[in-house]
Amino acid sequence: MTSNNSRLDQQITFILELEKLKGILRATQPIGLERRENSAEHSWHVALLALLLVEHANQPVDPLRVVKMLLVHDVVEIDAGDTPAYAVVDRVALQARERAAAERLFGLLPEDQAAEFHQLWREFEARETPESKFANALDRFMPLLQNYYANGGTWAEFGANLDRVLQRLRPIDDGSTELWRFAQTLLDDAVARGLILPGQAT
């Protein structure tokens, strides 16, 4: 079924393609549930965090731009799949898959919207602007909460030690020192409770 408006047809095609994001399962489990969350749930949750926690950003940010980035950044997982944060993967190959996915998926949109979404995705990945730093902080902060309140979650599943967890979560500080301070209290307690392995892997 098509309309008499080619721009609308392109937008509807993209909207229908987005349905696939609901079928991309992440390693993380929603707190209190015995199932994996999907990427669409994750995107919604971190976008809402941006509205709730914007006052804790290190620098003034445009909350709408942060929300846009958080809603767009995982769309590439429709083609590239989700990569668990603590899994050992070929990062070069992953980045190539994600770039190809961005080209195809955003290419479904009208030219102006394709350019905007592609720019938001690249900005998020680069982590150079205040908005992208804050968006990345939230993208790491929510799984931290999920792992902590699920008795280790993916930390335990992938045998993550403190060094690996810190490497993954330290960019929170770039976007929000306040959230990073809170994160550190959770990490200290997680190590004390055995939810994260201390120190380096042997």
Model's pTM, two decimal places? 0.93
Average pLDDT over residues 179-193: 96
Question: Residue 36, SS3?
Answer: coil
CB contact set of 181 (below 8 Å; sequence gap of 6+): none
CB contact set of 23 (below 8 Å; sequence gap of 6+): 38
Q: Is the pLDDT of residue 33 over 90?
A: no
CB contact set of 33 (below 8 Å; sequence gap of 6+): none
CB contact set of 29 (below 8 Å; sequence gap of 6+): 35, 36, 37, 146, 150, 153
Average pLDDT over residues 78-89: 86
The pLDDT tens digits for 3-28 are: 778 999 999 999 999 999 999 999 89
Which range, of 126-130, 169-173, 197-201, averages the lowest pLDDT? 197-201
Instruction: Determine the pLDDT at residue 13.
Output: 97
Instruction: Determine the pLDDT at residue 128.
Output: 98
Instruction: Determine the pLDDT at residue 200.
Output: 55
Q: Is the pLDDT of residue 202 over 60?
A: no
CA–CA dist 29, 157 (Å, integer): 11
Q: Which of 30, 201, 17 is nearest to 102 (CA)?
A: 17
Average pLDDT over residues 153-180: 94
The superfamily in CATH containing domain 6-26+33-192 is Hypothetical protein af1432 (1.10.3210.10)
Which helix (H) or strand (E) segment holds residue 129: the answer is none
The pLDDT tens digits for 110-121 are: 999 999 999 999
Q: Give the model's confidence band at 2: pLDDT under 50 very low, under 70 low, under 90 confident, else very high.
A: confident
The residues spanned by each domain of the chain are 6-26+33-192
CA–CA dist 35, 85 (Å, integer): 18
Angle of helix 39-53 relative to helix 130-149, nearest 10 degrees, comes to: 110
The pLDDT tens digits for 124-143 are: 999 999 999 999 999 999 99
Instruction: Determine the pLDDT at residue 104.
Output: 98
